[in-house]
Structure 1
Amino acid sequence: MYLYSFRLISLCSFKGGEEKCRRAWAQICEISRTEFHKVYQRLGVHLEEKGESFYNPYIPGVIEGLTKQGLVEESQGARVIFIEGINIPLIVVKSDGGFNYASTDLAALWYRLNEEKAEWIIYVTDVGQQQHFDMVFKAAKRAGLLPQGDNYPKASHVGFGLVLGEDGKRFRTRNTEVVRLVDLLDEAKNRSKAALIERGKGEEWTEEEIESTADAVGYGAVKYADLKNNRLTNYTFNFDQMLNDKGNTAFYLLYAHARICSIIRRSGKDVEEVKNKGTLVLEHKDERDLGLHLLQFAEVVEEAFTNLLPNVVCDYLYNLSEIFSKFYSNPECKVIGSDKETSRLLLCEATAVVMRKCFNLLGITPIYKI
């Protein structure tokens, strides 16, 4: 079982549990939940919600257990855990008796390991919280909640960099307010839809086809623009570059996949029948290059999974598209109507299947026609 933890919202920690504060907090949570849902709906994200307050009842017991193990010490009125190699302590109870992020994170970690039996817990926040989670994990290892080394069950922090505007500063609107993700997604979809209509698809396709393709390309463009970069580095946000139909963009890759599907359809062959009866023969160098790249897919997935780096999958997907393009544009590798049509259709289908696997891993919906 794998759990992903996202730091979404925090108002304050409650020492006395004042009803007025709790009502205000609940109202803020509901407003946040409504707005977050708009984003999740567009991104196709499904959550099992357990907010920070869910773990409040478990905090005292966890702190007591750590204290009995001799890990919690008094320091300037607060109760802390000292971590070897780090010159600041992990505060688990503030000097006023209140709890904080560290208290909640330790309780949540205990719950996920003991109640939900998680094997690998992945915390997704900005890189600025790296030290905090490093201290929490080290404290958990001292307490025996987590094993030493990199054995399962384990916990990992996935940090990410900033999205920058073209001025090199944190991405904001002109009035200095941070741009809302839901607005970015809607703008990407609208631009994608406009591009489809400009290409004449409004006359050829149904409104449903236009909408679903605009969703896939627009939302996919935003996802891919983020995931193709090493998550630890900052990157510059640019709509025009994101929706470019050339280069390393979701637009280019989705259309490349759709072109492959078109080739298979134009052959008039039943691809399932071809797969059952056909034989794959890689004689030309471009065929072999494509076949060898396809064989690397499992290794790439393992690397991305082990190091928690989605950009590795993006690099592989883009290179796959480029290698296929070289193969298909070579007159010596003609597919339809050649004496090697069956074998090359199999190669086309294998490429499309692997591309769809990559899209699935990246949370991008493939399109099948252009």
Structure 2
Amino acid sequence: AAKRAGWLPQGDSSYPKASHVGFGLVLGEDGKRFRTRNTEVVRLVDLLDEAKVRSKAALIERGKGEEWTEEEIESTAEAVGYGAVKYADLKNNRLTNYTFNFDQMLNDKGNTAVYLLYAHARICSIIRRSGKDIEELKNKGTLVLGHKDERDLGLHLLQFAEVVEEACTNLLPNVLCDYLYNLSEIFSKFYSNPECKVIGSDMETSRLLLCEATAVVMRKCFDLLGITPIYKI
């Protein structure tokens, strides 16, 4: 079917390929199959549009309407809204049912795309506030993982390739979502530790490089999940 639709080449190449997999149901808050009030099937495009509208309203409520251009608000609202819907679906094991809830998926706390996108934006803000040229630091700086929280973060970053392989082999994107959320939590623990001060510390260069490595891996995860990262909030 995929070949007839033109999504895949007609030959017998092993990649790219399509696989049929089982999946659970999307449920409404009443515990039944997710439908409109008229018992019609809900269109994905309508869910994405509604998520964008709600995301934009949240940004304006945070005062971004006075700080950002309309284009910045629109692009951020789209990235966050669309990302929230995608992530809410992908973070669950595809074999299980889950309940569709806008309030939960647009929450900026917990295992949501909003939380993860904001976390990435904050890391980018840390690097910008340092005033350092991160590309220059990559060429000349040295990464030293002297503190336990630094080592924990570094070791988690090193697991990225292994996690991607597992997710692809088993066709389970939730494995990558779990990794991404845990990465954000481990980074938060590192950054909130006074002993791991980044800007203005003797270890500033090394810790900025660790921040950059975290942001890069987060962006790779977002890309694999079809989510657009944001760089400020």
By the TM > 0.5 criterion, same fold? yes
Shift of 1:141: 18
For residues 223-262 of structure 1, the aligned pairs below 5 Å read: 223-262=86-125
What is the alpha-carbon distance in structure 2 between the residues aligned to residue 161 and residue 351 of structure 1? 32
Residues 149 and 296 of structure 1, relative CA distance in 2, 3 Å threshold: farther
Residues 344 and 162 of structure 1, relative CA distance in 2, 3 Å threshold: same
Shift of 1:290: 0.1
Residues 192 and 147 of structure 1, relative CA distance in 2, 3 Å threshold: closer
- State the SS of the aligned residue for 2:21: strand
Range with bigger deviation, 306-315 or 146-155: 146-155
Residues 176 and 155 of structure 1, relative CA distance in 2, 3 Å threshold: closer
CA deviations on 1:255-302 (whole Å, 9 max, x unpaired) are 000000000000000000011110000010000000000000000000
TM-score normalized by the length of structure 2: 0.92
Q: Which runs of 4+ in 1 moved over 4 A?
A: 139-155
Q: Does 1:202 align with 2:85?
A: no
Whether the 8 Å contact between 2:2 and 2:18 is mirrored in structure 1 is no
CA deviations on 1:75-101 (whole Å, 9 max, x unpaired) are xxxxxxxxxxxxxxxxxxxxxxxxxxx
Whether the 8 Å contact between 2:149 and 2:189 is mirrored in structure 1 is yes
What is the alpha-carbon distance in structure 2 between the residues aligned to residue 285 and residue 161 of structure 1? 40
RMSD: 3.9
CA deviations on 1:99-124 (whole Å, 9 max, x unpaired) are xxxxxxxxxxxxxxxxxxxxxxxxxx
Residues 183 and 155 of structure 1, relative CA distance in 2, 3 Å threshold: closer
Residues 146 and 246 of structure 1, relative CA distance in 2, 3 Å threshold: closer
Residues 140 and 264 of structure 1, relative CA distance in 2, 3 Å threshold: closer
What is the alpha-carbon distance in structure 2 between the residues aligned to residue 231 and residue 268 of structure 1? 43
Residues 162 and 276 of structure 1, relative CA distance in 2, 3 Å threshold: same
Range with bigger deviation, 152-161 or 318-327: 152-161
- State the SS of the aligned residue for 1:225: helix
Residues 284 and 234 of structure 1, relative CA distance in 2, 3 Å threshold: same
Shift of 1:156: 2.9
Note the residue ranges of structure 1 that are not aligned, 5 or more in a row: 1-138
What is the alpha-carbon distance in structure 2 between the residues aligned to residue 188 and residue 144 of structure 1? 31
Counterpart residue number, 1:146: 8
Q: State the structure with more CA Rg.
A: 1
Note the residue ranges of structure 2 that are not aligned, 5 or more in a row: none
Whether the 8 Å contact between 2:25 and 2:96 is mirrored in structure 1 is yes
- State the SS of the aligned residue for 1:159: coil
Whether the 8 Å contact between 2:127 and 2:208 is mirrored in structure 1 is yes
- State the SS of the aligned residue for 1:141: coil
Shift of 1:159: 2.3
Residues 192 and 144 of structure 1, relative CA distance in 2, 3 Å threshold: closer
Shift of 1:154: 7.4
Counterpart residue number, 2:141: 278
TM-score normalized by the length of structure 1: 0.59
Shift of 1:147: 18
What is the alpha-carbon distance in structure 2 between the residues aligned to residue 290 and residue 296 of structure 1? 10
What is the alpha-carbon distance in structure 2 between the residues aligned to residue 148 and residue 270 of structure 1? 47
Residues 146 and 298 of structure 1, relative CA distance in 2, 3 Å threshold: closer
Shift of 1:155: 6.1
| Larger relative strand fraction | 1
Shift of 1:183: 1.1
